[in-house]
């Protein structure tokens, strides 16, 4: 019974933190809104960090290209987790030019397989989606089946 209560306590502890990891995070640019539609393409849309030790902070760089005929303006970048920090170009990207979105992932307090998504809203027909994966090893949490 004590082991069961301990496991329940461990799983509910992160939910009590002031900044919940499941909180959606939004970054909005202050650039002028554009009604001209363009096209964004990424060299890589999914990044697998592989195995990480809980507490590691890692960065993935997603390179994109403006394949359209108009300036690309990134309006919002939305993450599904407070564990992700996002840095990106806030200035318009000219047709044919490239840009970079850096995603910093903090694995603190996590364990097991993790999937996090990032949504990019720009002056494109539809939002673009990126994803990161990792398998987190946390020696402080050992669950036996």
> Residue 13 has what pLDDT?
43
Q: Which residue has the higher pLDDT, 90 or 49?
A: 49
Could you tell me the domains of the chain?
23-137 (2.60.40.10)
Sign of CA dihedral 116, 121, 122, 126: positive
Work out the percent of the chain whose per-residue pLDDT is above 70. 72
What residues contact 96, with CB distance under 8 A and at least 6 apart?
Answer: 65, 66, 67
- Nearest CA to 93 out of 142, 51, 134, 41 is that of 41
- Nearest CA to 88 out of 104, 70, 67 is that of 104
> Residue 143 has what pLDDT?
63
Per residue in 103-125, pLDDT (tens digit) is: 999 999 999 999 999 999 999 99
Per residue in 20-29, pLDDT (tens digit) is: 444 454 444 4
> Residue 90 has what pLDDT?
87
């Amino acid at each position: 019974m004590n082991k069961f209560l301990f496991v329940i306590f461990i799983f509910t502890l992160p939910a009590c933190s002031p900044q919940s990891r499941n909180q959606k995070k939004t970054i909005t640019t202050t650039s002028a809104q554009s009604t001209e539609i363009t096209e964004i393409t990424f060299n890589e849309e999914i990044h697998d960090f592989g195995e990480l030790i809980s507490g590691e902070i890692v960065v993935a760089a997603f390179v994109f290209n403006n394949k359209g005929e108009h300036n690309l303006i990134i309006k919002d970048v939305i993450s599904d987790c407070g564990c992700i920090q996002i840095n990106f170009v806030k200035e318009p990207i000219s047709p044919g030019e490239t840009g970079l979105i850096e995603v910093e992932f903090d694995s603190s307090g996590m364990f097991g397989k993790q999937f996090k998504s990032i949504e990019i809203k720009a002056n494109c027909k539809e939002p673009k989606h990126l994803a990161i994966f990792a398998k987190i090893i946390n020696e402080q949490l050992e669950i036996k089946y």
